[in-house]
Amino acid sequence: MTFTAKLKSNDEHGRLAALKRYQILDTAPEVEFEDIISLVKTVLNAPIVAISLIDSDRQWFKAISGVDASETPRSIAFCDHTIRHDIPLKVEDATRDPRFANNPLVTGAPGVRCYLGVPLQSPDGYNIGSLCVLGDTPRVFTDEEVTVLQSFASVIVSQMELRLVSRHDVLTGVLTRSAFEVRLKAEFDKPENAPAALLLLDIDHFKSINDSFGHATGDVALRAVGKTLQDNLRDTDMIGRYGGEEFLILLRNVTPEDALAKSERLRRSVSQLRLKELAGRKLTISIGLACRTDTLASIDEWMRRADKSLYDAKNAGRNQVVAA
């Protein structure tokens, strides 16, 4: 990936949206990014290397080596200066640079003297962070070293783009099953035990749609159902494709009554779809609903309750919602 998009330097709202689109802030360390900074540290002989992401008011490190830190205030971040331009930022001696001479990272630990940062630019032109190297002695960075760092930065953005693609189902655009399960676990592990509901739904008689109209039409139906479900969910809700014609939905901060009402609204919205490819045949869904309770011991149990409710909905004639 190359940085070919024109830098959008005066759109902070768009920049933050681009950063959040990657869903990488506050995630656990990952070997792919750790390996990159290890290589940079070796190739450029740098004491400190970091993959820095600039949030609204903080600099957060996806990976860092040479200093023990997870984030700093954005106001003192060298990388905040880097993201304002589409060219690398070189600081040969921070004590002689009026922008940084009084910076607490220079006057105190870790005693930064030299810095080289290249922006991490999204394909649509937003600098979301930087790949940077730092040292505690003055240093003149060569053009070759800048080129090396830019190459590694390109690899990082490519890796982030690949992660983004792998989290979403190619056909429907919703989360993949594995991505949904990761987020569901994070939700389940929240200490506040927030009210939530899990929906497992199935497109009724989907096999006969494929058999009667072909798999291409089946794909049209899947896309239409996925879009309809997404259009009727809140930003705080979450949807994933569980497999085949099944979808999973997490409704956050809902009472059991609200969850049932929202499930019914989803069912009705799908039943109102009219696809010309289906030649007048209606699409319907069955939904199994399981609200989070204090007695839930695990995500597996939560899933089993939703699955049992879905089975009951199908067994009762389909095109309906059954709550556990």
Mind listing the pLDDT tens digit for each residue in 225-239?
Answer: 999 999 999 988 999
* pLDDT (0 to 100) of residue 5: 59
Taking all residues of the chain, what is their mean pLDDT, rounded to a whole number?
A: 93
* pLDDT (0 to 100) of residue 1: 38
Give the containing element (helix H, strand E) for 134: strand 127-135
Its pTM stands at: 0.63
* pLDDT (0 to 100) of residue 2: 39
In this predicted structure, the answer to whether residue 269 has a pLDDT above a threshold of 50 is: yes
Domain ranges in the chain with CATH number 3.30.450.40 = 12-164
Tokens encoding 151: 């190459």
pLDDT band at 186 (very low <50, low <70, confident <90, very high): confident
The closest alpha carbon to 120, from 189, 60, 178, belongs to: 60
Query: 3-state DSSP call for residue 248?
Result: strand
The closest alpha carbon to 157, from 54, 71, 51, 65, belongs to: 51
Q: What is the pLDDT of residues 128-160, one digit of tens each?
A: 999 999 999 999 999 999 999 999 999 999 999
* pLDDT (0 to 100) of residue 3: 40
Query: 3-state DSSP call for residue 21?
Result: helix
Mean pLDDT of 74-86: 96
Higher pLDDT, 143 or 190: 143
Q: What percent of the chain has a predicted confidence (pLDDT) above 90?
A: 80
SS3 breakdown of the chain: % helix, strand, coil, rounded to 5?
40, 20, 35
Cβ partners under 8 Å of residue 138, min gap 6: 92, 93, 113, 114
pLDDT band at 189 (very low <50, low <70, confident <90, very high): confident
Tokens encoding 288: 């199994």
In this predicted structure, the answer to whether residue 280 has a pLDDT above a threshold of 80 is: yes
CB 288 within 8 A of CB 306: yes
* pLDDT (0 to 100) of residue 193: 66
* pLDDT (0 to 100) of residue 124: 87
Mean pLDDT of 230-251: 94
Tokens encoding 80: 């905040």
Tokens encoding 35: 């390996």
In this predicted structure, the answer to whether residue 214 has a pLDDT above a threshold of 90 is: yes
Residue 129 to residue 119: CA distance in whole angstroms: 6
Mean pLDDT of 9-21: 90
CA dihedral of 258, 260, 265, 267, whole degrees rounded to 10: 160
Domain ranges in the chain with CATH number 3.30.70.270 = 177-323
* pLDDT (0 to 100) of residue 127: 97
In this predicted structure, the answer to whether residue 32 has a pLDDT above a threshold of 90 is: yes
Mean pLDDT of 242-257: 94
* pLDDT (0 to 100) of residue 245: 94
Q: State how far the alpha carbon of 94 is from the alpha carbons of 52, 106, 131, 167, 264, in Å.
A: 19, 7, 18, 41, 61
Residue 122 CA to its chain's centroid (Å)? 14
Q: State how far the alpha carbon of 144 is from the alpha carbons of 40, 116, 126, 152, in Å.
A: 13, 12, 25, 13
pLDDT band at 191 (very low <50, low <70, confident <90, very high): low
CB 25 within 8 A of CB 55: yes
* pLDDT (0 to 100) of residue 4: 46
CA dihedral of 36, 40, 41, 44, whole degrees rounded to 10: 170
Mean pLDDT of 55-63: 97
Residue 65 to residue 37: CA distance in whole angstroms: 7
The CATH architecture of the domain made up of 177-323 is: 2-Layer Sandwich (3.30)
Lowest-pLDDT range of 87-96, 246-255, 264-273, 295-304: 295-304
Protein fold of 12-164? Beta-Lactamase (3.30.450)
